Amino acid sequence: MEKERQVLVVFPHPDDEAFGVSGTLASHVQNGTPVTYACLTLGEMGRNMGNPPFTDREDLPKIRKRELIESARAIGIQDLRMMGFRDKTIEFEDEDKMTNLMTSLIQELNPSLIITFYPGYAVHPDHDATGAAVVRAVEKMPAAARPTLHCVAFSNDCIEKLGEADIIHDITPVNDRKLASIRAHRSQTEQMFAGMEEQLKNQEPEVMARINIERFWTYRFE
């Protein structure tokens, strides 16, 4: 993994960072690269409130905010920014407003690498809208000044339409940080881990491959 000047991560929800990129981010932190995580919402419309419920709609964002802070700490991110948007509304925000917000972050931080979702291939409307705003902001920049843009994609047709991911990171050396990041979002992941603990304990190859390999597509501007 190359040493970057600055990494900017932009996702809409708490836990978006945990599953697909936390090992990569922990590796950048370990390399001494500053990492800024701009999380647009607090996931307050999330449906997972436990069975029986452990919280209610009013208190869920407070819980998810604490979990987000704990996840960032597990990864080693020191610059966590909660941007104050409402969950499930990013697709309805004014496009110029969102583009300008991303432009402002880029101008402030001067990242050499930005990580976000690949618009159109990230399943959730908030994911796609977030990635699209980042792409618009970077596209406005002179080509020679653009940071590299690594995108997460996981729609059913992403490989068919985009080809295989061109960036593959084996994050095995920091997988403890990744697992800590995922566990931090316990309101969303506790039940999942209940069924995985034995597999993780036994280092089952299929499960460990899902944990240890992180894939990205480099966004190509026309």
Span 161-177, average pLDDT: 97
Q: For residue 2, tell me if it sits in a domain.
A: no
Give me the domain span that covers residue 210.
7-218
Count of structural domains within the chain: 1
The set of residues, in sequence order, having a beta carbon less than 8 Å from that of 48 and lying 6+ positions away, is 187, 188
Give the mean pLDDT of 87-105.
97
Between 104 and 191, whose confidence is greater? Answer: 104
Query: Is 98 contained in some domain?
Result: yes
CB atoms closer than 10 angstroms to residue 78 = 12
Tokens of 180: 């800590």
Report yes or no on 209 lying in a domain. Answer: yes
* Average pLDDT taken over every residue of the chain: 92
In a domain, 82, yes or no: yes
Assess if residue 174 is contained within a domain.
Answer: yes
Looking at residue 146, what DSSP letter applies? Answer: P
Task: Tally the residues of the chain.
Answer: 222
Q: How far apart are CA 47 and CA 50, in angstroms?
A: 9
Let me know if residue 1 belongs to a domain.
no
The alpha carbon torsion through 11, 206, 219, 22 (nearest 10 deg) reads: 30
Tell me, yes or no, whether 54 lies in a domain: yes
Q: Report the SS3 class of residue 35.
A: strand
Q: What's the pLDDT tens digit per position in 4-24?
A: 999 999 999 999 999 999 999
In a domain, 158, yes or no: yes
CATH (domain of 206) = 3.40.50.10320
DSSP H helix total and E strand total for the chain: 10, 7
Q: Which DSSP category does 120 fall into?
A: T
